[in-house]
Amino acid sequence: MSHEIVDTTITTLGKASIDSPLLNGQQSFIDDADRILVKIRKLELEADLKQEKSLTCFELAGPRKKIYYDASKLRCALVTCGGLCPGLNDIIRSVVLELYYHYGVRNIYGMRYGLQGFIPKFGHDVMDLSPASVTNILDRGGSILGSSRGPQDIDEIIDCLERMNISILFMIGGDGTLRAAEKIADNILERKLKISVVGIPKTIDNDIHLISRSFGFDTAVEVSTQAIIGAHNEAAGYPNGIGLIKLMGRHSGFIASTAALAQQDVNFVLIPEVDFDLEGHQGLLTALEKRLASRGHAVIVVAEGAGQRFFQDTPEERDESGNIRLKDIGLFLKNAINNHFKNRNIEINMKYIDPSYMIRSLPANANDSVFCGFLGRNAVHAGMAGKTKLVIGRWNNHFVHIPMQAATSQRKQVCPEGELWSAVLEATGQGSLKNT
């Protein structure tokens, strides 16, 4: 995966000239000149220096001594968009508490049901957010604000922000949401409005470019390992038992790969980035038959976006956001495996598990909850400093500001020649499932 970026400059609405209220506390501050290198490998750095390239750096996230907004006059809004993900309520709580207690902001609003909340025709009420309203939300999954999919009119959204006199908009969502946030921020700048748009990247699949870790991923892997344990116990408990688990991962196999390494009872991992064959001397079905003959049971983990080429003759469908609706590779494999062994008069015991929607709506685990706290607080610091068109990300063990355009320029995927997939191949021993 390339880390080349055209520009990492962060857009600001104007000069930050107001003393931060955090100056009264025991707070360390970040200067805009503080940077984190994008590349840290010695060979990459040496190659750039030899070619006289400037080293690409991200702006370090954190509180600034000078802020742009007067907190006593400030109104802020939060919105959660797209699919549910563990940690959404943790992000909301973190943003609200940081704004309220540390910056003294008293007018904080939650827009209900994603971008629909800005559009009058849907009639969704605005939620007043305060410490009291977010105190007990960490143990609840989903989002207290609700969510929705699909685009809404950009001008109507900005008109709503103007009517409500909002100065900072926090948008929590995946790549589609971040692309919408970039358009909103661009139109705001064209109108010469002083409204900051700060993105907090949400993808349970961990597939946003230049984001080394996304919230909810740790929880997803943890719960997925429980599904693997159950599938393995079921498979081992019956003759020729097969446990088949479908996990999240539309375009990237990070959850499937990481869960398989965390619970090494998996014999086959199928992800979107690595093609495989069903039939043939090296195909999955032949490998599975050999595994059952030698060990008597098998566990297969498949990411939801794997093997979509097997549905080429099926009409394409799209969801409300314009994303291609994936065909169900889990049920496809279940039927293909059952038919394969039935045709050979080999009795098998198949157990199929799909925990996807349960995982998406669970509360965050401890690691994700802590991580969400940092993301939310750093989003507030960025917004209060008058920065816009950025997302808060984790890179090289630091929280940084990443331009929205850079984060949405491409998708992060598992590298078939990289360390993660090599470890999966070693742990499973599955080898190539492609006929040569």
Which residues are known to be catalytic?
A: 205
Both structure tokens of 294:
């030698």
Report how far residue 406's alpha carbon sits from residue 166's, in angstroms, rounded to the nearest whole number. 26
Long-range CB pairs of 49-58, under 8 A, 24+ apart, other chains included:
56/3, 56/4, 56/5, 56/8, 57/8, 58/8, 58/393, 58/395, 58/400, 58/401, 58/402
Report how far residue 259's alpha carbon sits from residue 265's, in angstroms, rounded to the nearest whole number. 10
> Measured between alpha carbons, how far is residue 203 from residues 2, 308, 406, 424 in Å?
20, 21, 16, 22
The span from the first CA to the last CA of the chain, in angstroms, equals 26
Report how far residue 112's alpha carbon sits from residue 140's, in angstroms, rounded to the nearest whole number. 17
The amino acid at residue 56 is T
> What DSSP character marks residue 21?
G
| String of DSSP letters for 264-329 | ---SEEE-TTS---SSSTTSHHHHHHHHHHHHSEEEEEEETTTTGGGGTTSPP-B-TTSPBPPP-H
From the list 231, 304, 225, 214, the residue with the least C-alpha distance to 258 is: 225
